[in-house]
Structure 1
């Protein structure tokens, strides 16, 4: 009896410890800024390429500092929110690790650049040397966040099974629709937007034209990720459609005449090539997690798997609408 409260408090203690660790990057950035404020000038070296012996450009020191600090703080708060989400978000600790790693990389990147600038005779002569090794600290913090955060509760799922079609009266029409979202994809998209914004800020405050490449690259990656969450899955007389809610891009479109049958199953990312929108030897798939979903078997074509919270209803509706031979 006396052991129960201690056991029940353990997850909270672990989440509190993980939250404290997640604050280390923003704390290190703020402390470094405070310590270097007397010796850092109005410009600092930023963005190295090649052997990192000389910077590609200079940037306004404190405008860049507050940009990095603001984005790192936002990522830190997001990390803590994910850590404290508890068992309601199964992918919470993986998402927390990603946001923590992104914030840590931003913080340590500014620290390394500022350190190199202070040690150089002039900002334009700054050399990174071995200082990028401190970026490894971001990976250590992210790993600790992942290990300290208790895993979310997993849902018990049965194996693949046939789903009976709905009973429809002659001439009756039926439709089913649901919205599917992935916090993990949303977090990745937000992180990519943050990186694109950071590249834009650096490019605007320095003479580093190469930052435009970062803006375009991260921007395209963010849009590609936003296309995956949220999505709308619809089953009606036109077939089965999976459409991006934000970009209105159809990800899956299968007509009823192409459907052999629809079953429910535990969707394993490893069997379908991973998470996201995948094309593999097993077929096509939209996967947000390991969990319940539908598998669409088609005539003379590879199957399509979609993770969905209520696969039985989706499969039953599709099988009721599918024409029988």
Structure 2
């Protein structure tokens, strides 16, 4: 891993305290004091704080979370277990109050009294989504933990592939339980639309996300293994063939891999739709990648055959 990736992750985490400092200094003379900090369901202000106290409280939380994120970014360079996941979580914790602080002050700019500030619906929605995007960026920039230390198994295959022969295998796994949970969660948001629609939007997006990941599609081809979610097969994660040491089948227990969806744990990374059979890849760095898929035996055999052919072509050079 190059040094630029953890450096970029650290810069993403550091944006949160910088935003608090920058917005606070830029708008300190343009907002009422005290400032609004809470709105009721009708959108009226029902809570205020002195600007200095509000800024100090937010800065303390954001600064501490950013420091934790930076420490975990440094630990991820040593491939410490769950350091990348922890850094992403700490980044989210730093960005959320920072983004809400910025949204509050922007909404309060040039308003005489805190009670006159209306609920900034769109800015708050953006401030809720941005921390998740920042956490995702940090998670993708940082490496996972090192392998278990056990020898990396060597691929063997009874299937022989000719040079230049193109092959493709596609399989899926689905979970009715996740689909039902997503539908029920979506129906449960209906009352929120009549009370506080921003919460309904957030809950509706969560319901769509749960229902979307109930289907996992696995594609094996000459380039490697691609795993995607939902009917549109997006988003997609690709494992290059050159990074794969071997493949096997196994029983995927969601809780051992961190839960359902796209997970990262001490076991490795996983795309989990349901409990049961799946494809388990061992990578050359000792990490593992698992994906639930029905009848994974042909997929494992094909991956091993592709790896064997790739190794043979390297040896022949």
Normalising by structure 2, report the TM-score. 0.46
Normalising by structure 1, report the TM-score. 0.45
